[in-house]
Amino acid sequence: MKRLIALTGLVLLTLVAAGCSGQKKTVTIHDGRYTTHVTVADGATVGEALAAAEITVDEKDRVSPALDASPSETEEITIERCVSVNVVYDDSSKTVEAVGGTVADAVKMSGFKIGENDAVNFDGKVYLADVPDDIVITRQFNITLKADGKETTVLSPKLTVEAFLKQQDCSLDELDRVSPALTETIDQDTTVVVNRVTQKTETKTVSIPYSTQSEYSASMNKGKSQVKRSGVNGSKQVTYQVTYVDGVEESRTVLTEKVLKQPVNAIVVYGTKAVASGGGKKVVSRERVEDCDGSGHGYYIVHYSDGSVGYIDF
């Protein structure tokens, strides 16, 4: 409970006395980041100076010099406020009380062991009397972001991937891919990868390969073949939807096809006529020819079914 350190009658008497004697002095009051100057009678106490300046103090506040003392030596008064504040870290909260303390003092008093990368929502030098809300310590992590050909490592609190990308001003197009998923929460050493995906249509003229048709002939020996007609490739106009990931083609899908020239199929004739065994030919005739020296040796003239002639010694 705050009390007003102001004895109005005493102040008035002091000021009247000062007016009569003409002895006055200006006292400087330091109240946190606020400084006030007040003119009082030369013999006024600290309490009277605070009352003249309409400054109230709480019982737990520290005032120097004491309220009943006179600031005649330095003509300065210092007020250190007693403040109770909540320090929040992750899911934990502690209430600390400090006189004339700063945010850094409160964090130290909380006993929380914070990391060197963790962030506090107020500067450590701010007086607790000037802190309007809880002191919140936010855990921060090293997060690697790979996007647009660059790789950067930044400090970030625990956020969803979507919120992290917004924090980094990394905008996404409809087809872009993100890993981990946008709804997942980043943690220590998370790597967020953004793949830029684009699509475009492309039209090309491509070849239509010809096919080969088979025909069969009973007048041609089995195992023989003959090209009756050579094949000619055709052509067609094909429109694709091409997908690129970070500028590299990943896939293409056919959207439309238009035939420009039909292919001409080749025709190959295969023989079906049976061929006699024995290498594919048979002996038609054999003629014996004796040597003239009476040795009893000679040779045979052999005619085969394929028209060839051979000679066999005997």
Quick one: pLDDT at residue 10? 37
* Alpha-carbon torsion, ordered 199, 200, 206, 211, to 10 deg: 40
List the chain residues with pLDDT less than 50: 1-21
Are 146 and 134 in the same domain? no
Only one residue has tokens 């959207």, namely 255
pTM, rounded to two decimals:
0.54
Question: What pLDDT was estimated at residue 299?
Answer: 67
- Look at residues 195, 198, 187 and name the one whose alpha carbon lies nearest to residue 146: 195
Is 247 among the domain residues?
yes
Count of C-beta atoms within a 10 Å radius of residue 23: 11
Q: Tally the domains of the chain.
A: 5
Domain that holds residue 110: 82-138
Torsion of CA 291, 297, 298, 303, to 10 degrees: 150
Evaluate whether residue 278 is within a structural domain.
no
The backbone torsions φ and ψ at residue 146, rounded to the nearest 5 degrees and listed phi first, read -110, 115
Q: Given this model, what pLDDT does residue 60 score? A: 92
Residue 310, pLDDT score:
72
Considering the domain architecture, whether residues 64 and 87 belong to the same structural domain is answered as: no
Q: How many residues does the chain have?
A: 314
Domain final residue pick, 150, 178, 195: 195
* CATH code of residue 122: 3.10.20.90
Q: What is the pLDDT of residue 7?
A: 35
**154-180 pLDDT, tens digit each:** 999 989 999 999 999 999 999 999 999
Closest to 210 measured CA to CA, from 233, 189, 244, 187: 233
Based on the fold, state whether residues 61 and 10 are members of the same structural domain. yes
Of 60, 80, 100, the residue at which a domain comes to its end is 80
State whether 110 and 43 are in the same domain.
no
Angle at 257 between CA 212 and CA 255, to 5 degrees: 130
pLDDT at 15: 41
Q: What is the pLDDT of residue 277?
A: 59
CATH number at residue 248: 2.20.230.10
pLDDT at 20: 45
